[in-house]
Amino acid sequence: MVAPYHVNGSPFGDWDGTPAGARLLQRELAKQVSLIDDFPPLRTIAGVDVGFEEGGAVTRAAAVLLDAETLQPIAEHLVRVPTSMPYIPGLLSFRELPAVLQALSGLPHAPDLVFCDGQGIAHPRRLGIAAHLGVVSGLPTIGVAKKILVGTHEELGTSRGDQVDLVYQGEVLGTVLRSKDGVRPLIVSPGHRVSLASAPLLVMTCVTRYRLPEPTRLADRLASRRAAGR
DNA sequence: GCGACAG
DNA sequence: ATCTTGTCGC
């Protein structure tokens, strides 16, 4: 017997609480994902990420709002909620999305685009956390991951800006992108309302002197309770 | 059946 | 993700 996890209502619809039910729901929600660029001129961009405390008992979700022009933080919001589900590869959004949505709603206003830590459509059922977040929030989203979940790719150049397609089941689902000379590449994939071609361009637009784009880096820092680094 | 496996 | 100090390299 599989132990059912707590259901909230909003991000999971009528999920039955089982991993099998979660996978079915992902296939349904994936049909609502749009890979066509559909976002306003970028004025603000948000970065969201999750961290844990108390040995995993408490989930910390952080949302940071940045000025799209200067990449400087405008506002940030942090929430702490009891962890409701264990980490299961492929079902990350069911563990982190509730907290992420709360963190996002705590910002002074909705962003024009959201950078999410993890995969967009580069997922077994085309619904990584960034795509899931996009569908349930209606916001344009991009997934920026540090590792590949699924898919393969050709050799990648070693210079900043070099990129190659991430292919899975004969389909291009994302981009393996070298954000800085010599660093491990980022795995970028559209979440919602962003095209495969635009995603890496938008990410590079937010990269300054670090491997991670600013929205992701700042949210990551806040969620992991770390300090700044001048 | 055997490995792989975002955070 | 998290547990954790110093250390190697640009």
Note the CA–C1' distance, A150 to B5, in angstroms: 8
A89 touches strand B (CB under 7 A): yes
Determine the pLDDT at residue A120: 98
Is the distance between the Cβ of A146 and the closest atom of strand B smaller than 7 Å?
yes
Q: Where are the domains of chain A?
A: 19-223
Binding residues of A: 49, 117
**CA of residue A229 to C1' of nucleotide C8, angstroms:** 20
pLDDT truncated to tens, each residue of chain A (230 aa)? 445 665 544 688 889 999 999 999 999 999 999 999 999 999 999 999 999 999 999 999 999 999 999 999 999 999 999 999 999 999 999 999 999 999 999 999 999 999 999 999 999 999 999 999 999 999 999 999 999 999 999 999 999 999 999 999 999 999 999 999 999 999 999 999 999 999 999 999 999 999 999 999 999 999 998 777 65
* Protein-nucleic contacts, chain A 68-107 to strand C, CB < 7 Å: 87
Query: Are residues A217 and A59 in contact, defined by beta-carbon separation less than 8 angstroms?
Result: no
- DSSP alpha helices (H): ranges in A106-192? 129-137
Structural contact between residues A216 and A163, judged by C-beta atoms closer than 8 angstroms = no
Known binding-site residues of A for Mg(2+) equal: 49, 117
A55: the nucleotide nearest its CA (via C1') is: C2
**Whole-angstrom Cα distance, residue A46 to residue A1?**
40
Alpha-carbon distance of A83 to A86, in angstroms, equals 8
Over its C-alpha atoms, chain A yields an Rg (Å, rounded) of 17
**Protein residue minimizing CA–C1' distance to C10:** A182
CB A143 within 8 A of CB A131: yes
Q: Tell which strand C nucleotides have any atom below 7 Å from a protein Cβ.
A: 1-2
Nucleotide B5: nearest residue by CA–C1'?
A: A89
Compute the CA torsion angle A133, A115, A176, A202 (nearest 10 deg).
120
First to last CA, chain A: 51
d(CA A178, CA A204): 9
- What fold does the segment set A19-223 form as a domain? archaeoglobus fulgidus dsm 4304 fold (3.30.2170)
